Protein backbone atom coordinates (compact mmCIF):
# COMPACT_ATOMS: atom_id res chain seq x y z
CA UNK A 1 0.00 0.00 0.00
CA UNK A 2 1.47 3.32 -1.09
CA UNK A 3 -0.16 5.57 1.49
CA UNK A 4 1.56 8.62 -0.01
CA UNK A 5 -0.90 8.53 -2.92
CA UNK A 6 -3.82 8.87 -0.49
CA UNK A 7 -2.61 11.15 2.30
CA UNK A 8 -1.45 14.75 2.21
CA UNK A 9 -0.60 17.51 4.63
CA UNK A 10 -1.22 21.15 3.81
CA UNK A 11 -0.72 23.96 6.32
CA UNK A 12 -3.89 25.61 4.98
CA UNK A 13 -6.04 22.51 5.55
CA UNK A 14 -6.84 21.28 9.06
CA UNK A 15 -3.81 23.14 10.48
CA UNK A 16 -1.44 20.90 8.53
CA UNK A 17 -2.68 17.63 9.99
CA UNK A 18 -2.44 14.57 7.75
CA UNK A 19 -5.69 14.23 5.77
CA UNK A 20 -7.10 11.96 3.12
CA UNK A 21 -5.95 13.65 -0.10
CA UNK A 22 -8.53 16.04 -1.52
CA UNK A 23 -10.64 16.05 1.65
CA UNK A 24 -10.67 17.58 5.10
CA UNK A 25 -10.99 14.16 6.72
CA UNK A 26 -8.02 13.78 9.02
CA UNK A 27 -6.16 10.48 9.21
CA UNK A 28 -6.53 10.61 12.98
CA UNK A 29 -10.34 10.60 12.58
CA UNK A 30 -10.16 7.47 10.43
CA UNK A 31 -7.86 5.79 12.96
CA UNK A 32 -10.07 6.83 15.89
CA UNK A 33 -13.05 5.24 14.16
CA UNK A 34 -11.12 2.03 13.51
CA UNK A 35 -9.96 1.95 17.12
CA UNK A 36 -13.59 2.34 18.22
CA UNK A 37 -14.44 -0.81 16.30
CA UNK A 38 -15.98 0.65 13.16
CA UNK A 39 -15.52 -1.29 9.96
CA UNK A 40 -14.10 0.17 6.78
CA UNK A 41 -17.60 0.05 5.30
CA UNK A 42 -19.05 2.04 8.21
CA UNK A 43 -16.32 4.66 7.88
CA UNK A 44 -16.84 4.98 4.12
CA UNK A 45 -20.58 5.37 4.71
CA UNK A 46 -19.96 8.08 7.32
CA UNK A 47 -17.50 10.00 5.14
CA UNK A 48 -18.65 9.83 1.49
CA UNK A 49 -15.43 11.43 0.21
CA UNK A 50 -13.40 8.56 1.71
CA UNK A 51 -12.90 5.25 -0.11
CA UNK A 52 -11.92 1.87 1.29
CA UNK A 53 -8.38 2.23 -0.06
CA UNK A 54 -8.10 5.55 1.81
CA UNK A 55 -8.87 3.71 5.06
CA UNK A 56 -6.19 1.14 4.23
CA UNK A 57 -3.77 3.99 3.49
CA UNK A 58 -4.52 5.54 6.89
CA UNK A 59 -3.61 2.23 8.55
CA UNK A 60 -0.40 1.96 6.49
CA UNK A 61 0.50 5.54 7.44
CA UNK A 62 -0.03 4.74 11.13
CA UNK A 63 2.07 1.59 10.81
CA UNK A 64 4.93 3.57 9.31
CA UNK A 65 4.71 6.14 12.09
CA UNK A 66 4.82 3.35 14.66
CA UNK A 67 7.98 1.95 13.05
CA UNK A 68 9.69 5.33 12.80
CA UNK A 69 8.78 7.01 16.07
CA UNK A 70 9.07 6.00 19.69
CA UNK A 71 6.30 7.12 22.01
CA UNK A 72 6.82 6.73 25.72
CA UNK A 73 4.56 4.05 27.17
CA UNK A 74 3.94 3.13 30.81
CA UNK A 75 6.30 0.56 32.23
CA UNK A 76 4.62 -2.73 32.91
CA UNK A 77 5.35 -6.32 33.70
CA UNK A 78 7.29 -8.20 31.05
CA UNK A 79 5.12 -10.35 28.86
HSE of 74, CA atoms in CB hemisphere, 13 A: 2
Of 69, 30, 77, whose CA–CA distance to 53 is shortest? 30
pLDDT tens for 14-72 read 999 999 999 999 999 999 999 999 999 999 999 999 999 999 999 999 999 988 777 67
C-alpha distances in Å from residue 65, one per residue of 41, 47, 53, 60: 24, 24, 18, 9
Instruction: Note the pTM of the prediction, 2 decimals.
Output: 0.85
> By the 8 A CB rule, do 47 and 41 touch?
no
pLDDT the model gives residue 74:
74
pLDDT the model gives residue 26:
97
Q: Domains in the chain, start-ordered, CATH in brackets?
A: 3-68 (1.10.10.10)
pLDDT the model gives residue 77:
58
Helices marked H in the chain — which ranges?
Answer: 27-35, 40-46, 52-68
Judge whether residue 78 has pLDDT over 70: no
Amino acid sequence: MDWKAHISSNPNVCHGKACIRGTRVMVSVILDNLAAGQTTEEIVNSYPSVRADDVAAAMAYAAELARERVVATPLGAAA
